[in-house]
Structure 1
Amino acid sequence: MSPTADYDDKALRSAIRLLKLMLGKVLKSQASPEVAAIVEQLQHQFTVLQRDHSPGRRQQLLNTLQGLPADMMNEVIRAFSLYFSLLNIAEESTQLQQRRHQIEKNKHYWRGSFHDTLLAFKDSGVTPVQLQVLLNDLNYLPVMTAHPTEAKRRTVRGALRNVFISHEKLLHSDVKGYFREEALERLHGQIQLLWKTDEVRARSMGVVDEIEAGLFYFPLSLFEATAQVYRNFHRALVDVYGNEAAARIKIPGFLNFGSWIGGDRDGNPNVKPHTTALALRLQARTIAQEYLRRLDNLREQLAYSHGLCEPTAAFLQSLERDRELLGESAIAIERTCMQEPYRHKLSLMKFRMHKRLELIDQRIAGDSSQTDAVAYNNIQSFHTDLCVIRESLISHGDRAIADRDLLDLIRLTEVFGFHLMQLDVRQESGRHSLAVAEILASALGIDYLALDEDKRLEVLSETIAIAGGLGYAASHLSAATLETLEVFQVMAQMRREIGNDCFSRYVISMTHSASHVMEVLLLAAQNGLAGRIGGQWYCHIGVSPLFETIDDLNHIDSVLRGLLAQPVYRALLNASGMRQEVMLGYSDSCKDGGILASAWGLYSAQQQVMAISDSEGVPCRLFHGRGGTIGRGGGPTHEAILAQPPATVRGQIKFTEQGEVLFYRYNNMETAIYELTMGITGLMKASLSVVQPVEPDRTENLAVMSELAQLGERSYRQLTEHTPGFLDYFYEATPVQEIGQLNIGSRPSHRKKQDRSKYSVRAIAWVFAWAQSRQTFPAWYGIGSSLEHYCAGNPERLRTLRELYKDWPFFRNLLSNAQMALSKSDMSIAEEYSALCSDPEVGKRIHGLIAAEYRRCVDWVLEIAESDRLLAENPQLAASLRRRNDYLGPLNYMQAGLLRALNQDSDNESSQSIWMKPLLRTINAIAAGMRNTG
């Protein structure tokens, strides 16, 4: 990031003024007359309160709020919410313009672009041959999840996309006069439409809604963004390494997408086996529709005539095979294009793709009995047809045409196949143990749960190898076990129906032993997904153990080494041809032991996993279960990848993209290109160890962090587990219970109803609720006290930490993220929420502990960064947070007041109270203002 002196937000301020003016006009014409005035009054009163914290100033603000009836408050909150949405658009479109200006000035592009990255590679001595080695191993795999942290309705997201497009056009200097007036009118109309679109969902989201919400981003932005990413990479490759070298480098499919939506059943009783099948079929329909659209475009473009071009023999043979396959159907299709060979071929291809789409639609409707020999039944045949066309075009001198839209479509087939996203299935280990116990009892009379770990592994290894599976009686199995087995049946069926790559991994949460992985393989073997035939092992499923809590992270060595020591498991892993994948959970480890223990535990775990991988000779990929916020492993992807331990990434990274992160990264195609590029270049930089030696971490640095993590964990656990009244404070001084009524997801916010323990509340709701009340302490609590205790008047230790901040990406990223989270906290506002506690003494005491640690964190982070204010090194972000704060503050005061009113409204069920709807609106608005939720 540029230094403060170089930061110029003139263009951004101009964009904000324009959008704010538009919003003001809409409010004056469409809202109650007083709304615009009240919004400005509240914003002004809060700004004054920040300068002068006197009781009188606070009371002025409260008086303005207390006089507002519920319907007026609804409109005021919506105005604030819309302001944040427009502010986000102003920032996003201005950043896009800045990147375009950089491209116009020089080919170096922005920091983190492909050109910038490849230039640095070349300067550091990376040869074209080494680059090819790196690219061959490269796999960037973002995984969409349905974790409920996206508070915006799909309708609102679409409307915001339209506002972004209109506003972005206005930033072009050549839009003048009449055309500018027309653009301004369009923008005004779109903002007015947003004002009249309710942002709060009227009904709860089901799993199908979540599946469709995830698919929404592909036709909107991700198909074209993916094509552009590959095109940009090739252009940068030619610019940096030259035409001759670039021609020798093969660009493989280094980008893929994954999903948990419809496959993640851990803790979500609404995800059934048929849901998993539906998710994959809806994905298959989405990509088939895109292929049809692009085939149509190519058919329009490739109007070559016989006699004016000479297609290759391979192309003509391919065309003839299609005609024979389609028989009489071909006659009607080709009537208008017999003189145009490429249109002829593409018309027949479109017919075959349309037949595939018809089959998918029939299966979605519930009829799986139909087949069609004409339809494309595997991606390889479709990909081959496209490549035959390209090679033919190149043969008669039309490479420039072949390498545009046609090559884009070829790239898309390599990325998306016929499955669109590779679906992960996830379930908790206990479900598998019970299912295996019932099956073994029925088939062999074995009391599995009474066995120790060694005996379990022995039994599992032997029974996996039984040809045809175990002969158990289904009537002896519980409904839960039958459902667990049905999941594997669906996996086998979907691989046949959609393709071998439609699933990525089967993820086991709460993996505590090697037997938990082997249990999944035994269940898979009952449905032909794994086993041994004729002495040969086969395996069509990959299993990923998930380590979530601090205790889980400490057991990685015993679980992973125990697993890889099993000859049967090694044989199955080899037969699958897959890398061993290990998933690390960020959210629960942070909720469990605090940010320092979590961050360091995860860092150490990665080193440990890769050390085991190396010693066992088993290639391994890490799967990072990151959330949107810092407290759940969030933060900028590029920096996060670079902060991983040296030589642990190795070309492969897989990570979850959760909730609101999908909206902010992928709702606009231009931003999607930027985000994907930054992630891929971060992966490339972090993977240099594949072709060049890298410096390992210094032993003394590891020792320092280990001590800091222990101190931080002790401080965090003291607060969250050993401080009387803490959990009462959480439930009474945050809107955690009301978040569950937002209808933003199908998953319950608690594992067990009525259980108010730290374990029961899900990490998403935990972080979301603290953020709403401006106490983002999961992202920083324990850092201040650990730094203070570590230094304890020792200047030498302070110098050591300052050096770490300058030189160690992990430590720098940790404290940079803490600065971001600290900047989003406000202890004065948090005090308003603390007053909601039924026991005032508890509220005051817990708030005092959090506020004291906040001050320690700020003081010590600034001391180590040698800075006079938070985010001094990121002035753009600092300015953004300041802009938001003047509007966030009044919303927080409103929310605290509404929570109090809801508690006092004893005449109504809380959900029926007139205060519930405005309260839910404040949750949406604050989420928009803070730009993250869970």
Structure 2
Amino acid sequence: MADSTTAPRELTEPLREDIRLLGGILGEIVREQAGERIFQLVETARTESFRLRRSEIHRSELAALFDGIDTADAIPVIRAFSHFSLLANLAEDLHRERRRAAHRKAGEAPQNSSLAATYRKLDSADLPAGRVAELLKDAQVSPVITAHPTETRRRTVFEVIKRITALMRERARPDLEPEDIERIDLNLRRQILTLWQTAVIRLSRPQLETEIDEGLRYYTMSLFEVIPALNAEMRTELRRRWPATDVLTHPLVRPGSWIGGDRDGNPYVTADVVRTATRRASMLALEHYLNELEALEQELSMSDRLVTVTPELAALAEASGDDGPSRADEPYRRALRGIRGRLSATAGDVLDELPHHWLESSLTPYGRPEELLADLETIDTSLRKHSDGILADQRLAALHEAVLTFGFHLCGLDMRQNSETHEQVVAELLAWAGVHRDYSSLPESERVDVLVTELRTRRPLIRPDAKLSDLAHGELAIVRAAAAAIRDLGPDAVPHYIISMCSSVSDMLEAAILLKEAGIFDPGNSDDGPSCSVRLIPLFETIDDLRAGASILRSTLDVPLYRDVVRGQGNLQEVMLGYSDSNKDGGYVTANWALYRAELDLVEAARDVGIRLRLFHGRGGTVGRGGGPSYEAILAQPPGAVTGSLRITEQGEVIAAKYAEPLMARRNLESLVSATLESTLLDVEGLGDDAEAAYTILDELAELARDAYTDLTQRTPGFIEYFRTSTPLAEIGSLNIGSRPASRKPTKSHQDLRAIPWVLSWTQSRIMLPGWYGAGSAFTAWVGDDQSRLKQLTDLYKRWPFFHSVMSNMAMVLAKSDIGLAARYAELVPDSSVRDLVFGKIREEHSRTVDMYKAITGYDDLTGDNPALHRSIHNRFPYLEPLNHLQVELLKRYRSGDDSPYVRRAIHMTMNGLATALRNSG
């Protein structure tokens, strides 16, 4: 396959040079460390993989290289190809960075998904100031790092890759002398040697506390630097365009987290974990502020013999208690010492351990971030009064913006639990209190009556000595830990409570009962209505729940008590949409359309009842779990679905890909912000009066696709057996990638599996089924022999961002799939009749889907609209081939009875390598 990208070959030559350099160094290290025999095996496998891509050999010839391979030999081969893939990824990232810089240097128009491009579009739209202010009233862009860790790389490996990246950037400088390049290459060799000698997989499953720390590491790596600067820039740019408005009165980008608060199916989330998550986040924020204050104290050395300060600054310096003679004439240093002292006292009050840069102090702690901001503003005002604005605009301004963005809490910790658990616990509480002996037996209307009555009274249901089940004790302890975090760190510390599998009004109100028991929900009195600092958020996940979501929301808001709560929360209701379970439930096309339809219905419901709606998108890293380019995905939302606000989950390997360093973090956050602004302020759907006709077409396609999908997953005999035996599903359960169990409960049904192992299994076997199955049958049946219908779909692909995104993401998955390799995994199925039936259906549907994609889009290739993906497949996928063959060989060995630790470890290493190379691990 030729490297036929749309870019001239000379533009991609630097990428090939980087891959050759890094691959060459790795090859030398493999030869030195593993020996000539292993090196030759790796080289043979590599060259044969490239020959296979050029159709010069048959796949069976490559597979034969590994027949009966000794496990001790397999492990270094797996490691070599895993590292090749990792280094190729690194080279691709650097190439994209290089090309963007070249575009900017050439003075070309800014690329879509950048703020520069968005500003141009807004300038051309001639938007009225009043409308901009109204639409951005509750503006918020919130990437939420979740507790679904599919990042299979260890942190140590991650740090080595970061150092290699820095060295490659330095190597690209045009002013280097030969000795500089020699020095850099030697350092590259050191780092790649370290990579080779570092174990790539964990020996034990990570604890939740480890996951908390891994989620927080991105703040020091990039987010402390990038988010405050981005927020300040956005405020400046928008107010410059609409100076008559007070647009963006609060920071636009405000991150969140699920790690330590999401207990849906995770028994390891406890009250102690909630405390750990909130306190460690707070400590990181306070530690950052104290560090910056210490630096400012060194920098702002101005003497009052040379400058005049404001009376407020003089008073702040006097109140610091810093009366040392050496600083008598340095009011800014004294004032900053006092701020450090007060903030240190705050840390001593609210944290479980003292942060670095802590200063022993007897000063009064800050009660709220606003008090700290006021003191920083005093310093800012004084600096500007004596023409030192240039000093105020640097570290001080960045610190002020950071405190404004992160407060004392750093990031909001979302709580999440399944509605079934809420029902059990609330039923137990009501029975203990004598309110109702069998709440669960009540019909919905009576349940709502009981819950509303309880929510109107201040009387708690239980007292401290109540004898309750472990489940009830645990759930109450968790919400009380959340209440303590809110009390100590502010309401933004725990701002949301998400109800999984929400299907009724009572599901919403049961969560409110738990919040009331913890003192978070206040019933109010005759003068004041009910209030709650935590927003209750229904999560609609299955196809049926998505279709019923708007009705559930309307019914809940029809309850006067709940409507009063929402009114007290700024008349804003958030709803979460689940991408993973809806896909697993109904297939790719059906799930995507169910989500779009649900958003349309929710927007209409919100408009009818007079509230503002914010949608929270539970997207995973893979297309099968809602993944794909974020910018395109946001623009593909229906009209009214993005009203200045967007919350979106960031999961697994996607987190590292987006936020591991400032340049990447800035670029990815810009794409979220750009798409949010454009979706809010501009007409991006593009259907006009044809919208209803397009919706009808998708209604029909979704039903056809669901039928094809359920025919395979529910009506095909032996499908579950095929899934379990043709993929490494069982082995994934022991892969140490997260603290969370693979299934919600013991089961043999794919519907009870978590989406991560469901998608990861199909990804490893290279079928990628969740990202396309059912589409081919749906398109084929709907079009039939009617070419005018095919033209309708082509027109929708060209005009409608939603349909274009669905097709583009599907093509990306199909391009990464490989039915030839999948056939090797099918050989693992013991029952030949099951294998032939199920794999036969998959193979036929794959062919249909590829053919229909080409017919609808007009492309001859699955990567026709994505030259970067084409280049990536060309450069990286030959390194995947040996990993897949080795995985199949090792699975056969393991399942035939060889369960030695080395075989298990080797299987896990192939999973790690494939996940790294595909950049889609689940």
TM-score by length of 2: 0.95
Deviation at 1:112, TM superposition (A): 2.2
Equivalent residue number for residue 6 of structure 2: 4
Equivalent residue number for residue 346 of structure 2: 356
Equivalent residue number for residue 327 of structure 1: none
Conserved? CA contact 1:646–1:696, under 8 Å: no
Q: Evaluate the alpha carbon distance shift between residue 560 and residue 134 of structure 1 in structure 2; reply closer, same or farther with a 3 A threshold.
A: closer
Equivalent residue number for residue 407 of structure 1: 397
SS in 2 for 1:66: coil
Q: Evaluate the alpha carbon distance shift between residue 372 and residue 296 of structure 1 in structure 2; reply closer, same or farther with a 3 A threshold.
A: closer
Equivalent residue number for residue 926 of structure 1: 914
Alpha-carbon distance in structure 1 between the residues aligned to 2:131 and 2:303: 43
Alpha-carbon distance in structure 1 between the residues aligned to 2:219 and 2:502: 33
SS in 2 for 1:655: strand
Equivalent residue number for residue 20 of structure 1: 23
Deviation at 1:528, TM superposition (A): 1.8
**Could you tell me which of 708, 725, 733 is aligned with 2:701?**
708
Note if 1:674 corresponds to 2:676.
no
Alpha-carbon distance in structure 1 between the residues aligned to 2:17 and 2:213: 36
**Could you tell me which of 249, 272, 286 is aligned with 2:270?**
272
Alpha-carbon distance in structure 2 between the residues aligned to 1:180 and 1:360: 50
Equivalent residue number for residue 34 of structure 1: 37
Conserved? CA contact 2:345–2:361, under 8 Å: no
Equivalent residue number for residue 521 of structure 1: 512
Structure 2: 5+ residue runs without aligned partners? none
SS in 2 for 1:374: coil
Equivalent residue number for residue 426 of structure 1: 416
Kindly provide the amino acid, as one letter, of the partner of residue 498 in structure 1.
L
Deviation at 1:448, TM superposition (A): 1.6
Equivalent residue number for residue 326 of structure 1: none
SS in 2 for 1:752: coil
Conserved? CA contact 2:5–2:870, under 8 Å: no
Which stretch shifts more, 16-25 or 824-833? 16-25
Q: Evaluate the alpha carbon distance shift between residue 58 and residue 648 of structure 1 in structure 2; reply closer, same or farther with a 3 A threshold.
A: closer
Deviation at 1:612, TM superposition (A): 0.7
Alpha-carbon distance in structure 1 between the residues aligned to 2:406 and 2:708: 46
Deviation at 1:704, TM superposition (A): 0.4
Note if 1:455 corresponds to 2:457.
no
Alpha-carbon distance in structure 2 between the residues aligned to 1:350 and 1:831: 64
Deviation at 1:307, TM superposition (A): 2.9
Equivalent residue number for residue 389 of structure 1: 379
Alpha-carbon distance in structure 1 between the residues aligned to 2:727 and 2:325: 68
Equivalent residue number for residue 289 of structure 2: 291
Conserved? CA contact 2:635–2:684, under 8 Å: no
Alpha-carbon distance in structure 2 between the residues aligned to 1:927 and 1:629: 11
Q: Evaluate the alpha carbon distance shift between residue 288 and residue 516 of structure 1 in structure 2; reply closer, same or farther with a 3 A threshold.
A: same
Deviation at 1:248, TM superposition (A): 8.2
Deviation at 1:372, TM superposition (A): 7.5
Conserved? CA contact 2:613–2:643, under 8 Å: no
Which stretch shifts more, 75-84 or 44-53? 44-53
Q: Evaluate the alpha carbon distance shift between residue 786 and residue 405 of structure 1 in structure 2; reply closer, same or farther with a 3 A threshold.
A: same
TM-score by length of 1: 0.93
Equivalent residue number for residue 221 of structure 1: 222
Write the mapping of 1:503-582 to structure 2, written as runs, cut at 5 A: 503-535=494-526, 536-537=528-529, 538-577=531-570, 579-582=572-575
Alpha-carbon distance in structure 2 between the residues aligned to 1:824 and 1:751: 29
Deviation string, structure 1 residues 84-112 (Cα, Å, up to 9, x no partner)? 11111111122222222333333854332
Which stretch shifts more, 262-271 or 667-676? 667-676
Kindly provide the amino acid, as one letter, of the partner of residue 731 in structure 1.
R
Deviation at 1:696, TM superposition (A): 7.0
Conserved? CA contact 2:297–2:336, under 8 Å: yes
Equivalent residue number for residue 825 of structure 2: 833
Which stretch shifts more, 6-15 or 838-847? 6-15
Which stretch shifts more, 14-23 or 371-380? 371-380
Q: Evaluate the alpha carbon distance shift between residue 39 and residue 419 of structure 1 in structure 2; reply closer, same or farther with a 3 A threshold.
A: same
Kindly provide the amino acid, as one letter, of the partner of residue 726 in structure 1.
F
Q: Evaluate the alpha carbon distance shift between residue 107 and residue 913 of structure 1 in structure 2; reply closer, same or farther with a 3 A threshold.
A: closer
Equivalent residue number for residue 775 of structure 2: 783
Note if 1:850 corresponds to 2:848.
no
**Could you tell me which of 784, 801, 804 is aligned with 2:796?**
804
Note if 1:725 corresponds to 2:730.
no
Deviation string, structure 1 residues 116-174 (Cα, Å, up to 9, x no partner)? 11011101213666555555432100110121311011111111111111111111212
Conserved? CA contact 2:623–2:809, under 8 Å: yes
Alpha-carbon distance in structure 2 between the residues aligned to 1:545 and 1:236: 35
Equivalent residue number for residue 475 of structure 2: 484
Kindly provide the amino acid, as one letter, of the partner of residue 744 in structure 1.
I
Alpha-carbon distance in structure 1 between the residues aligned to 2:754 and 2:382: 56
Deviation at 1:490, TM superposition (A): 1.3
Write the mapping of 1:247-266 to structure 2, written as runs, cut at 5 A: 252-266=250-264
SS in 1 for 2:205: coil
Alpha-carbon distance in structure 2 between the residues aligned to 1:659 and 1:421: 18
Which stretch shifts more, 658-667 or 805-814? 658-667
Equivalent residue number for residue 346 of structure 1: 336
Kindly provide the amino acid, as one letter, of the partner of residue 846 in structure 1.
V
Alpha-carbon distance in structure 2 between the residues aligned to 1:402 and 1:310: 15
Which stretch shifts more, 740-749 or 110-119? 110-119
Deviation at 1:569, TM superposition (A): 0.6
Conserved? CA contact 1:650–1:689, under 8 Å: no
Q: Evaluate the alpha carbon distance shift between residue 499 and residue 287 of structure 1 in structure 2; reply closer, same or farther with a 3 A threshold.
A: same
Equivalent residue number for residue 656 of structure 1: 649
Deviation string, structure 1 residues 525-583 (Cα, Å, up to 9, x no partner)? 12221233432122222100111111111221331111000001111222233621111
SS in 2 for 1:836: coil
Kindly provide the amino acid, as one letter, of the partner of residue 32 in structure 1.
G
Kindly provide the amino acid, as one letter, of the partner of residue 255 in structure 1.
V
Conserved? CA contact 1:281–1:364, under 8 Å: no
Q: Evaluate the alpha carbon distance shift between residue 625 and residue 786 of structure 1 in structure 2; reply closer, same or farther with a 3 A threshold.
A: same
Which stretch shifts more, 296-305 or 510-519? 296-305
Alpha-carbon distance in structure 1 between the residues aligned to 2:361 and 2:597: 51
Alpha-carbon distance in structure 2 between the residues aligned to 1:62 and 1:195: 25
Alpha-carbon distance in structure 1 between the residues aligned to 2:416 and 2:382: 45
Conserved? CA contact 1:802–1:865, under 8 Å: yes
Alpha-carbon distance in structure 1 between the residues aligned to 2:105 and 2:449: 65
Equivalent residue number for residue 886 of structure 2: 894
Deviation string, structure 1 residues 755-800 (Cα, Å, up to 9, x no partner)? 2211221111000010000010110001111001010010110110
Which stretch shifts more, 846-855 or 16-25? 16-25
Kindly provide the amino acid, as one letter, of the partner of residue 379 in structure 2.
I
Q: How many residues align?
A: 911
Which stretch shifts more, 90-99 or 77-86? 90-99
Conserved? CA contact 2:261–2:274, under 8 Å: yes
Q: Evaluate the alpha carbon distance shift between residue 312 and residue 127 of structure 1 in structure 2; reply closer, same or farther with a 3 A threshold.
A: farther
Equivalent residue number for residue 640 of structure 2: 647
Equivalent residue number for residue 68 of structure 1: 69
Alpha-carbon distance in structure 1 between the residues aligned to 2:157 and 2:901: 25
Kindly provide the amino acid, as one letter, of the partner of residue 514 in structure 1.
V
Which stretch shifts more, 761-770 or 313-322? 313-322
Alpha-carbon distance in structure 2 between the residues aligned to 1:690 and 1:886: 43
Alpha-carbon distance in structure 1 between the residues aligned to 2:171 and 2:232: 27
Deviation at 1:689, TM superposition (A): 5.4
Kindly provide the amino acid, as one letter, of the partner of residue 6 in structure 2.
T
Deviation at 1:11, TM superposition (A): 2.1
Structure 1: 5+ residue runs without aligned partners? 324-329
Q: Evaluate the alpha carbon distance shift between residue 132 and residue 12 of structure 1 in structure 2; reply closer, same or farther with a 3 A threshold.
A: farther
Deviation string, structure 1 residues 784-840 (Cα, Å, up to 9, x no partner)? 110010100101101100000000000000000000000010000000000001112
